[in-house]
Chains A and B, each alone.
Chain A
Amino acid sequence: MRFITSLTLALLSAAAVVGPAQAQTATIRMTWYSDGNEGEVISDLLKRFEEQNKDIKVVLDQVPFKAINETLPVQVASGQGPDIARVVDMGGLSRYYLDMRPYLKDAAYWDQNFGPFLEWMRPAGDTQSIPGFMTQLTVTGPFVNKTLFDQAQVPMPGDKATWEDWAKATKDVAAKVQVPFPIALDRSGHRFYSLAMSQGTKVFGSNGEPEVVDEGFKRAAQLVYDWHASGVMSKELWGSVSGTAYRGANDEFKNAQVVMYLSGSWQTSQFDKTVGDAFDWVVVPNPCGPGGCSSMPGGAGLVAFKTTQHPKEVARLMDYLASEPVLSEFYSRTLFVPGHLGLAKKGVAYPSASPQAAAALKTFTKSASEISPLAYRTQGYIHSRIIFNAVISRLGQAIAGETTLDEAYKRITADVAQQIAERTKK
């Protein structure tokens, strides 16, 4: 009897001690996708954060990129989303974001270092809120297989070369060394706009509303269409799937089947590892056209959602991750171009990068400084993904031979109008 009484008292005492401690622990869920090694890096950083903040537990859910674009929007719309997520369609999900301003240690630090990018995350008309920060700034640009150029003994076009120059040179190389892809362009509207910007598209009309199909756009679309017809581009990327499906050429590039691959700075770490010393590759400045040589900016932001039960703890975690030393380490280890103005100015060291990856990052950083304001505006436009997706879906159909370019132009205009109307319907 005495034993039972002692046991009961001991259990009650333990519950009294452990109970409140457990109640005070806030669990934060973070949804994360990776292009390269950033999943490992963020795990390390979160472990360190948890050691310093015993009252917060962070659960990191690593998901495929597709889940970020397809599953996450439904989750947050139903109020069942995570507390924090790494997203790429920053404007599209803006109405679900938490404004962390009241909970942050120093909101001015965020404005100062993430200011231009915060505009990409805010809902229309909002100029104040702070929903998150950029885990990376990405810049589109061409990766070139230098070894193939050397083997074919074709001179590589210079810094201000046009798209047509590159098309001719890469086709020569591909013919001489027998590779199937002279130019590969990700099946992505964002990547297409890198070409369209250089061809002088204006994207918006005089009233500020999108007028997607203009002369510059048509020049770019015609180039992509003609390149598929002449074999500069293979239909395996743009012509082989339907709708808005993304198709990259990572495997083809690392298997030395692509002469020039237009993708983005986020691939640097991956190619540094996967290509290794199999061949030499370089990143060259964005090719030029009548509209200039601007590439497209982009990136991924880490944002907080307003459905969180722990806004203070979320802000504490975000303050930690966005702090200069932590973010500098993150960019440095992941080989990402910084999306933090202070760090971009100071420069980030990449000690783990190979010489060719370091050179690639240098070119990307230079390209970032030459991005046109229109490219920034297009990327930051709240319905930009609607435009990007309409373009790849319809252009893909034209390339596959299902429709004409003129019909595709009409459909793009109609799709954009219809989808914006649907999204804004209340």
Chain B
Amino acid sequence: MTALGAVAGALAALPLRLLDGPMKACQRLIGAGRMPYVFLIPNFVFFGLFVFLPIAINVVFSVTGGPALFPSERPYVGAGQYAYLFDCGSYLDPNTCREDHFWRGVANTAKFVVFQVSAMVLFSLITALVLNMKIRGRGFFRAVYFFPVLLSPVVVALIWKWILQRDGLLNAAITTLGGEKILFFIDPSWAMFWAVFVSVWAHMGFYTLILLAGLQAIPSDLYEAAEMDATPRWRVFRRITLPLLWPNMIVVIVLALIKGVQTFDEVFVLTGGGPGTATLMVVQYIYETAFSNQVQNFGLAAAASVVLGLVLFLLTLAQLVLARRKES
């Protein structure tokens, strides 16, 4: 067994040994201090091709106009697309904006993010606290709450559409109980409510898992000491659980924020952005402007996506700052 293991080890190490020669040559050539950069090159090339290059192309598109697809055929318009996007009487009233759909998308996304993130954090926290208790069937419940995370967002939306449509399951239940059918996707408030609800339902398991991991990392002797002091449970939660869970809470809040701003597929399949534009999100606006409108306005869509990218960058930066502040 040992001999076999040694052979296997030698075989596995063979490709690495083959690299010894070139690595040593490289080290001699550029010096040991610069060697880490050599290891970064493959990833840098990969990211360059598939991340940085598309970002650069997107920025180029955002300063050009017309229907052509190739950058060389597109006329340069400078900041024209941005000026068009930001041409507003008041940014708080989309009706005063030339590109009112973009601002409706911004307003809807902001509304969605506020409600979705609050609900997500609250329900994930409650669920994590309950699942952290010694209850019967704990493993089963953990699996049940995590299960929707495994589903594709489109599948999630289709399931809920099937439940919520005019002749769906929910209306069947309502009429069986003697009520009137409710057209959930026609009333803007209902449509937004269900968009938030479905999103929370689908992703809560993931955030619950993060919080659960945080809860389990809290030393149990702190709780034992609190119990010996007969500290009320609310105070234990406020003074021990919440402060020690805070790093995980920050992760949950920022991840939920970023995901909320990027929301598209679930809401698009569920409501189509309607009624009117009541659930039209920024990403749907970008998609429609670039691809599904008759005139595929790549320039305007690119400008809008640059703006969205900046917002996401700021959110990520906020997460880093908060995390570092906590560490220090």
Contacts and interface: CB of A to CB of B under 8 A. Distances in A.
Contacts of A242: 272-280, 284
Nearest to B104: A402
B291 A386 contact: no
A386 B294 contact: yes
A74 B185 CA distance: 31
Nearest to A77: B69
B95 A407 contact: yes
B280 A389 contact: no
Nearest to B273: A242
A265 interface: no
Contacts of A236: 166, 183, 185-186
Contacts of B265: none
Contact-residue size bin, chain B (C-beta under 8 Å from the other chain) = 35 or more
A241 B272 contact: yes
B294 A89 contact: yes
B130 interface: no
B90 interface: no
Interface centre among A77, A244, A388, A411 (most CB of B within 10 A): A77
B285 to A, nearest CB: 9
A36 interface: no
A358 to B, nearest CB: 32
Nearest to B280: A242
A79 to B, nearest CB: 9
Nearest to B293: A244
Interface centre among B66, B273, B275, B288 (most CB of A within 10 A): B275
Interface in B286-302: 288, 291-297
Interface string A386-420: 10110000001101111100010001001000010
B291 A422 contact: no
Contact of B274 (A89, A239, A388, A411): A239
Interface in A176-222: 180
Given A403-B95, A422-B66, A389 B294 contact: yes
A240 B185 contact: yes
Nearest to B188: A400
Contacts of B188: 400-401
A422 B95 contact: no
Contact of A239 (B68, B69, B275, B288): B275
B278 A400 contact: yes
A386 B67 CA distance: 13
B65 interface: yes
B62 interface: no
Contact of A423 (B67, B273, B280): B67
B294 A397 contact: no
Interface string A86-99: 00010010000000
A386 B297 CA distance: 12
B306 to A, nearest CB: 18
Interface string B195-223: 00000000000000000000000000000
B271 interface: yes
Give 5 closest A-B pairs by Cβ, nearest first: A400-B276, A242-B273, A241-B272, A425-B66, A402-B276
17 contacts: A69-B294, A70-B291, A92-B294, A235-B186, A235-B275, A240-B272, A241-B271, A241-B275, A242-B275, A243-B292, A397-B276, A397-B277, A399-B276, A401-B276, A403-B276, A423-B295, A426-B75
Interface of A: 69-71, 73-74, 77-78, 89, 92, 180, 235-236, 239-245, 385-386, 388-389, 396-397, 399-403, 407, 411, 414, 419, 422-423, 425-426
